[in-house]
Chain A
Amino acid sequence: MITLQWLYTLVGLMFAAYAVLSALDGGNRKRFGNAAFWGLMALSLLAGDYLGDLGNGLLVLGLAGLAGLGLIGRSAPPTTSDEARDGFAARHRNRLFLPALVIPATAMVGTLLWMWTPLGESGFIEAKRETYVFLGLGVILALGILFAWLRPPAIAPLQEGRRLIDSIGWAAVLPQMLAALGVLFAAAGVGDVIGGMTRTAIPDGSVFLTVAVFGIGMALFTMIMGNAFAAFPVMAAAVGVPLLVRGYGGDPAVIGAIGMLAGFCGTLMTPMAANFNIVPAALLELKDRNAVIKAQVGTALPLLAINILFIWWFAF
């Protein structure tokens, strides 16, 4: 059976190649820092399950130390000039989109086949991980097409991949760090404290204000945790179930479903949701790392108000 570990191995080998290429990159003053950073990521992906919890903890300290002390930096792997790219674009025209579309198309067709045909019961692929497996397969297919068609140097995909990952830098690892921080927050009982504080903020006897505190609480706690999943059980326990459902007789389906979406409005407004808000800023090479959040606030706030109104209208 193809499991998630196959993909970890594939991505791990990729990071290992970045580490080796970084170490060999004489043009980068911080080449050994980069090599160590991507090397640790490779180790985590290839052998994380064998390092033990403490080993993984030390690995994370290593990543944080390398990034925090400024020991990693951007590199300039060999690539084509803008003029050459204009030339390629003019020559190959829309055919260039095909390999780009192979990845989502493979992921899409594969996932649909697995969802709607008997293939899904074949057990070839770890359950619920089909899309990831087909994403990896799509990458391999697209690489095959590109090699057969454009014949780049054999090392080119790894050098181009390193160019991108170095431009993203530590932001590529931050989402995983934040997810781990969320686990520690939960273990320390942060949710109970926030839930208690939220309850004290609720005025008696007003359904609308209770709904508003629930929705705003979902958004705010999501902003703190970077993740609506962590906020939902806390807000459900503090306000949603005892007050809205049991106290005022609201429909639990509406309160649950739209309450979660109120939390998603918070996700749009926090740097803690790094994979949605900080990573793209790095990926698009924006100077302001909060630029994506700033573009989202104007959508998130009205939508939060609308979600609160929806709960009030539909649940009662």
Chain B
Amino acid sequence: MTEYLPLAGILIVVLGFALRLNPMLVVTAAAIATGLLAGMDLRRVLEVFGKAFNDNRIIAIVWVVLPVIGLLERFGLQQRAAAVIRGMKRATAGRLLILYLFYRQVISAIGLHSTAGHPQTVRPLVAPMAVAAAEKQAGPLDEKTDEKVKAYSAATDNVGLFFGEDIFFAIGSIVLIQQTLATYGYQLAPLELALWAIPTAIAAFLVHGARLMMLDRKLSSLPRSGGEGDHPKNGEGVGGEASAITPPPRFAGFPSPSKMGRNG
């Protein structure tokens, strides 16, 4: 039984996330419990945890873009992005996101994966454009649909990144595969590994693309709520629709029970 003790930390994480406790506390508790159960003393646990945190500061670099993104929002970038989409007759949320999926996979496949991302492109451009397109399809969005379109925007960025980046041979995961297999005596060229990422990249585009088209179908079949009067069907936005991107309170206590099963 004692050989399973190191798994206690995992149990803490799963329970903590399920009970919706603050993840920062959950992770810290799990780290300390795991370290202590592995026979470290508290000081040693803190040292290992602190060193690992410091070694991973590269994760924080992406926040350097926030002042520019915020400044652009101040000058109406999100509103303009939405207006452009409203001006395109054939634009739909699904088509727009399929285009972004393709772009994200291609730039990731040529090693430029860090040039797009949630702070850089999704919040200022992709999400407001997708919401504007969805409003053309379904009229003013209720909160649930609005959140869903935004969540799909973020999801599309992830799918494009994950299933594009491994086609680029000089990326961390390819190096890791190569190194791991080399320890067992299998010497593989990075290019050979990168090549085998292509079938999955195509499959990811087809599967996620199909789901985005289903999102379109669902949006078009929604009853158009709200009065037509204050919401022009197409043409340049005259303003007033900016409310679509005003923030709701963050992480309010109640989860929205969206039924994702129907999509897949």
Contact B196 A139 (CB under 8 A): no
Contact B60 A41 (CB under 8 A): yes
Kindly list chain A residues whose C-beta atoms are within 8 Å of the C-beta of B116. Answer: 104
Kindly list chain A residues whose C-beta atoms are within 8 Å of the C-beta of B249. Answer: 287
Contact B150 A286 (CB under 8 A): yes
Contact B67 A158 (CB under 8 A): yes
Kindly list chain A residues whose C-beta atoms are within 8 Å of the C-beta of B7. Answer: 190, 193-194
Kindly list chain B residues whose C-beta atoms are within 8 Å of the C-beta of A299. Answer: 155, 159, 204, 207-208, 211, 264
Known: A183-B55, A184-B35, A257-B177. 4 other contacts (CB 8 A): A56-B53, A70-B22, A176-B57, A282-B250
Kindly list chain A residues whose C-beta atoms are within 8 Å of the C-beta of B67. Answer: 14, 139, 143, 157-158, 160-161
Q: Which of chain A's residues has its CB closest to B261's CB?
A: A298
Task: State A181–B64 Cα separation when bound (angstroms).
Answer: 24
User: Looking at the complex, which one of B22, B200, B208 makes contact with A261 (CB distance below 8 Å)?
Assistant: B200
Known: A11-B60, A188-B9, A233-B180. A103 touches B256 (CB 8 A): no
Contact A135 B65 (CB under 8 A): yes
Contact A190 B9 (CB under 8 A): yes
Task: State A55–B252 Cα separation when bound (angstroms).
Answer: 34
Which of B107, B242, B246 has its CB near the most chain A CB atoms (within 10 A)? B242
Known: A45-B60, A85-B242, A277-B158. A306 touches B260 (CB 8 A): no
B150-166 interface mask toward A, CB cutoff 8 Å, 1 = contact, 0 = none?
A: 11111101110111001
Task: State A58–B46 Cα separation when bound (angstroms).
Answer: 7
Contact B119 A283 (CB under 8 A): yes
Shortest C-beta distance, A117 to chain B (Å), equals 14
Shortest C-beta distance, B196 to chain A (Å), equals 4
Interface members, chain B 139-193 (any A CB < 8 Å): 143, 147-148, 150-155, 157-159, 161-163, 166, 172-174, 176-178, 180-181, 184, 186, 188, 192-193
Interface of B with A (CB < 8 Å)? 3-4, 6-7, 9-10, 13, 17, 22-25, 27-28, 30-31, 34-35, 37-38, 40, 43, 45-81, 83-84, 107, 111-112, 114-116, 118-125, 127, 143, 147-148, 150-155, 157-159, 161-163, 166, 172-174, 176-178, 180-181, 184, 186, 188, 192-197, 199-200, 203-204, 207-208, 211, 237, 239-240, 242-243, 246-252, 254-256, 258, 260-261, 263-264
Q: Which of chain A's residues has its CB closest to B123's CB?
A: A283
Contact B34 A135 (CB under 8 A): no
Task: State A111–B116 Cα separation when bound (angstroms).
Answer: 13
Number of A residues near B (Cβ < 8 Å) is 150
Shortest C-beta distance, B127 to chain A (Å), equals 6
Q: Which of chain A's residues has its CB closest to B14's CB?
A: A224
Contact A57 B46 (CB under 8 A): yes
Contact B211 A184 (CB under 8 A): no
Asked if A239 CB lies within 8 Å of chain B CBs, one says no
Known: A115-B111, A294-B258. A260 touches B166 (CB 8 A): yes
Task: State A188–B59 Cα separation when bound (angstroms).
Answer: 24
Interface members, chain A 250-283 (any B CB < 8 Å): 252-254, 256-261, 264, 267-268, 271-272, 274-283
Task: State A157–B67 Cα separation when bound (angstroms).
Answer: 5
User: Looking at the complex, which one of B4, B150, B255 makes contact with A290 (CB distance below 8 Å)?
Assistant: B255
Shortest C-beta distance, A43 to chain B (Å), equals 11
Kindly list chain B residues whose C-beta atoms are within 8 Å of the C-beta of A224. Answer: 10, 13
Asked if A124 CB lies within 8 Å of chain B CBs, one says no
Which of A93, A175, A177, A277 has its CB near the most chain B CB atoms (within 10 A)? A177
Kindly list chain A residues whose C-beta atoms are within 8 Å of the C-beta of B123. Answer: 283-284
Q: Which of chain B's residues has its CB closest to A59's CB?
A: B50
Contact B74 A85 (CB under 8 A): yes
8 A-B residue pairings within 8 Å (CB atoms): A57-B45, A79-B70, A85-B76, A143-B71, A267-B158, A284-B153, A285-B247, A307-B200
User: Looking at the complex, which one of B23, B61, B71 makes contact with A7 (CB distance below 8 Å)?
Assistant: B61
Asked if A236 CB lies within 8 Å of chain B CBs, one says yes
Kindly list chain A residues whose C-beta atoms are within 8 Å of the C-beta of B55. Answer: 183
Interface members, chain A 177-219 (any B CB < 8 Å): 177-185, 187-190, 193-194, 196
Kindly list chain B residues whose C-beta atoms are within 8 Å of the C-beta of A115. Answer: 111
Contact A193 B6 (CB under 8 A): yes
Contact B49 A306 (CB under 8 A): no
Shortest C-beta distance, B39 to chain A (Å), equals 9
A101-119 interface mask toward B, CB cutoff 8 Å, 1 = contact, 0 = none?
A: 0011001100110010000
Asked if A169 CB lies within 8 Å of chain B CBs, one says yes
Contact B200 A306 (CB under 8 A): yes
Shortest C-beta distance, B10 to chain A (Å), equals 6
